[in-house]
Amino acid sequence: MLAELQQKCGCVQCIQCNYVHCLCFVQEYLTKYYGFKEDIIPRTKSKTNGNVLEEKIQEMQQFFGLEVTGQLDSPTLVIMHTPRCGMPDLQHRSAVPWRSRWMKHHLTYRIYNYTPDMKREDVDYIFQKAFQVWSDVTPLKFRKIYAGEADIMIRFAFGAHGDSNPFDGRGGTIAHAFYPGPGIQGDAHFDEAEIWSKSS
């Protein structure tokens, strides 16, 4: 299947999964979540971009526990088209902030704004339960505040929203969060273009 996609941005319909996908989509996905860089290796070298692309597909398949084939098979494409977190699945140690852990055990969180898709009390309850999951298995304790700057600012936003990770509309990236630290670090952003509900 990879050979079928070698034509730049050529769209192909997968007979197995019925997805119409383009090489550009696959490259963008692997660039965003697995560090694929197009044309980083000159074509005169023994490793061509096709080999690098295949290696990145293998990394992705291994990460998700799929059969590692390096091919764009149906299970791989289903994962690629599933809405997900916007942060990379694999990061080099140099990309992770030094001491990327909370330096204290008592943390505050604030829901900066609410999605109109749900009742405020439902949003409050969901986040309270999510933080309780962490409190139950770590020494971290979370307290909600209603004004000012919290350690974890929770925000619903559309598209470009003040960080270097703009949302892409409905589907695709649904949220992202940042490693612990000051400022935007530790914050969690949710794509308002999604339809949020208690069951999603």
* Residue 151 labeled ligand binder: yes
Q: What are phi and psi of 50, to 5 degrees?
A: -60, -40
* Residue 189 labeled ligand binder: yes
* Residue 85 labeled ligand binder: yes
- Local structure of 155: helix, strand or coil: strand
* Residue 194 labeled ligand binder: yes
* Residue 117 labeled ligand binder: yes
Count CB atoms within 10 A of the CB of residue 78: 15
Q: Where are the alpha helices (DSSP H) in the chain?
A: 23-34, 49-63, 74-80, 120-137
What's the distance, CA 3 to chain centroid?
27
Distance of alpha carbon 97 from alpha carbon 129, whole angstroms: 27
Distance of alpha carbon 69 from alpha carbon 54, whole angstroms: 8
* Residue 169 labeled ligand binder: yes
Q: Which of left, alpha, beta for 194 (phi over 0: left; psi -120 to 50: alpha)?
A: beta
* Residue 168 labeled ligand binder: yes
- In the block, which residue shows the tokens 């996908």? 21
- Per DSSP bridges, beta strands 106-111 and 188-191 are unpaired
Question: Which residues contribute to the annotated binding site for Zn(2+)?
Answer: 85, 161, 163, 176, 189
Question: Which residues contribute to the annotated binding site?
Answer: 85, 117, 151, 161, 163, 168-169, 176, 187, 189, 191, 194
Question: Which residues contribute to the annotated binding site for Ca(2+)?
Answer: 117, 151, 168-169, 187, 191, 194
